[in-house]
């Protein structure tokens, strides 16, 4: 049997671990500041110019430190990494997509720290934003790959069509296929970040019948990618991932689908503000009913929060003002692979839209993590039923149904 560690000893070991980690971050940031060029825009000046107070910035560093699962003593390191954000050269490629991810990152009614960070990013090549076109754009890309070989981050927006040997997508003055361009750029990049569910998993391009045989970048090229999933994804999940890279010189821990665990480690259902209504069996039965007006749970009108992993409800969209469930529409599962075929079109619980039979059907929709989810939901339902019984209350219909299924298999 292992030796039991006393709380003092445990505390000393934790403190030692974090001291070592802090030292590692400092060494890495020193290296970044020595090796990478000065940022094009000064982050501190930009904060001042945009009216972001010191207090607001400190609040942001606290929130980002916590989001990255680091203790508060890392706040100065996060602040230093934010200042170095603009040093990291980025090549942003567009393949089969709608550019909604870039739009989601760029559109904001007032600048918060994340938006300003994205503004300072050293975009060496971005087809939507750069002024250059044709041969000049291609030269810019080649120059960046040469000047920053092994140092730049390759961000990819959009899926890669594989049909007709990739010829459904030809780009640039030389008419290269998306697959050709991706292979060339990726081979020189320090890391590949897939922005949005199209580049991560294929998304709408790969939805049935998928005539171009589109798929996610990692799958097509057989490489490891960091998947910032979402349709669109949240800018915070991208900035946090880059900050992690700047601090630690490495990518954050990923889940089996390549998504950073710090951002995609929890189920939307578990951090949803409507969750108390789910627990109480209070559901919106149809759009616009009394339950909808009272802000009850959207599960019965098709919310896929129980099958979806991400921080949507915490990070929120539109300058962190709202997110779909808050606005009154259920989650469509856009952080998960294949959601266009399995989750988004069905405005009813997933079991009724597939084979019937409760949350067990989550196992049949081909998602890597939903088996765990289904077990969690069943366990939760049993626990809820027990609580209701203890209180002498009648559990909600869903709770009864799931509890019966758990009991009878």
CB 278 within 8 A of CB 303: no
Helix segments in 187-330, DSSP class H: 196-201, 217-221, 235-248, 261-264, 275-279, 290-293, 312-315, 324-327
Minimum CB separation of residue 58 from ligand SF4 in Å reads 31
| Cβ nearer to ligand SF4, comparing 260 with 376 | 376
Residue 275 binds ligand SF4, judged by CB under 6 A: yes
29 versus 325: smaller Cβ distance to ligand SF4: 325
Q: If binding is defined by CB under 6 A, does position 160 make contact with ligand SF4?
A: no
Take residue 358 and report the two structure tokens written for it: 């409760």
Q: Which of 363, 352, 406 is nearest to 384 (CA)?
A: 406
Among 36, 278, 317, 323, binds ligand SF4 (CB under 6 A): 278
Q: How far is the CB of 406 from ligand SF4 (least distance, A)?
A: 18
Binding map of ligand SF4 across residues 213-252, x = CB under 6 A, - = no contact: ----------------------------------------
Give the tokens for residue 111.
Answer: 């600048």
325: contact with ligand SF4 by CB under 6 A: yes
With binding defined as CB under 6 A, does residue 303 bind ligand SF4?
A: yes
Nearest to 128 by CA among 161, 103, 96, 153: 103
Taking the C-alpha atoms of 346, 352, 354 and 355 in order, what is their torsion angle to the nearest 10 degrees? 180
Nearer to ligand SF4, 103 or 285 (CB): 285
- 269 in contact with ligand SF4 (CB under 6 A): yes
Q: Which stretch binds ligand SF4 (CB under 6 A): 93-101, 213-221, 226-234, 299-307?
A: 299-307
How many Cα neighbours within 13 Å face the side chain of 169? 23
Residue 36 is given by DSSP the state: S
Q: Which is nearer to ligand SF4, 89 or 333 (CB)?
A: 333
Per CB under 6 A, contacts with ligand SF4 among 331-360 are: 331
| Tokens (6 digits) for 24 | 């590692």
Rounded-to-integer distance, Cα 340 and Cα 4, Å = 50
Tell the smallest beta-carbon distance from residue 272 to ligand SF4 (Å).
Answer: 3
CB-count exposure of residue 85 (10 Å: 0-12, 13-18, 19+): buried
The Cα angle at residue 367 between residues 229 and 206, in degrees rounded to 5: 60
> Looking at 330, 333, 337, 358, which residue binds ligand SF4 (CB under 6 A)?
330
145 belongs to the binding site for ligand SF4 (CB under 6 A): no
Residues in the chain: 409
- Whole-number Å distance between alpha carbons of 241 and 248: 11
**Backbone dihedral angles phi then psi of residue 131, each to the nearest 5 degrees:** -80, -30
Count of positions on this chain that bind ligand SF4 (CB under 6 A): 15
Q: Which stretch binds ligand SF4 (CB under 6 A): 17-25, 150-158, 209-217, 291-299?
A: 291-299
Which residue's CB is nearer to ligand SF4, number 235 or number 333? 333
Q: Which stretch binds ligand SF4 (CB under 6 A): 42-50, 194-202, 255-263, 264-272?
A: 264-272
Interface residues with ligand SF4 (CB under 6 A)?
Answer: 268-269, 272, 274-275, 278, 297-299, 303, 305-306, 325, 330-331
């Amino acid at each position: 049997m292992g030796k039991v560690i006393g709380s003092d000893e445990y505390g000393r070991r934790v403190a030692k671990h974090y001291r070592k980690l802090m030292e590692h971050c400092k060494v890495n940031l020193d290296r970044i500041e020595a090796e990478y060029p000065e940022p094009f825009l000064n982050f501190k000046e930009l904060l001042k110019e945009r009216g972001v107070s010191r207090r607001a910035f400190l609040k942001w560093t606290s929130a980002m430190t916590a989001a990255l699962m680091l203790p508060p003593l890392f706040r100065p390191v996060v602040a230093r990494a934010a200042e170095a954000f603009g040093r990291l050269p980025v090549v942003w490629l567009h393949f089969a997509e709608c550019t909604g991810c870039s739009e989601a990152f760029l559109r904001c009614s007032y600048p918060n720290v994340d938006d300003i960070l994205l503004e300072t990013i050293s975009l060496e090549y971005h087809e939507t934003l750069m002024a250059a076109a044709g041969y000049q754009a291609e030269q810019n890309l080649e120059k960046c790959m040469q000047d920053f070989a092994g140092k730049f981050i390759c961000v990819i927006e959009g899926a890669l069509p594989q049909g007709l040997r990739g010829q459904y997508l030809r780009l640039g003055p030389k008419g290269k296929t998306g697959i050709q361009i991706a292979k060339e750029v990726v081979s020189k990049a320090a890391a590949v970040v897939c922005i949005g569910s199209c580049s991560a998993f294929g998304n709408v391009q790969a939805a049935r019948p998928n005539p171009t045989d589109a798929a996610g970048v990692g799958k097509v090229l057989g490489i490891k990618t960091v998947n910032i999933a979402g349709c669109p994804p949240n800018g915070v999940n991208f900035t946090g991932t880059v900050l992690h890279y700047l601090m630690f010189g490495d990518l954050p821990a990923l889940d089996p689908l390549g998504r950073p665990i710090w951002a995609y480690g929890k189920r939307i259902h578990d951090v949803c503000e409507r969750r108390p209504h789910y627990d109480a069996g209070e559901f919106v039965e149809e759009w616009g009913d009394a339950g909808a007006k009272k802000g009850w749970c959207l599960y019965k009108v098709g919310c896929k929060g129980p099958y979806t992993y991400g921080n949507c409800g915490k990070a929120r969209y539109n300058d962190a003002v709202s997110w779909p469930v808050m606005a009154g529409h259920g989650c469509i599962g856009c952080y998960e692979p294949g959601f266009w075929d399995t989750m988004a079109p069905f405005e009813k619980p997933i079991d009724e839209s597939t084979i019937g039979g409760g949350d067990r059907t989550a196992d049949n929709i081909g998602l890597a993590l939903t088996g765990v989810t289904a077990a969690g939901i069943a366990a939760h339902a049993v626990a809820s039923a027990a609580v209701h019984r203890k209180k002498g209350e009648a559990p909600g219909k869903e709770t009864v149904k799931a509890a019966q299924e758990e009991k009878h298999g």
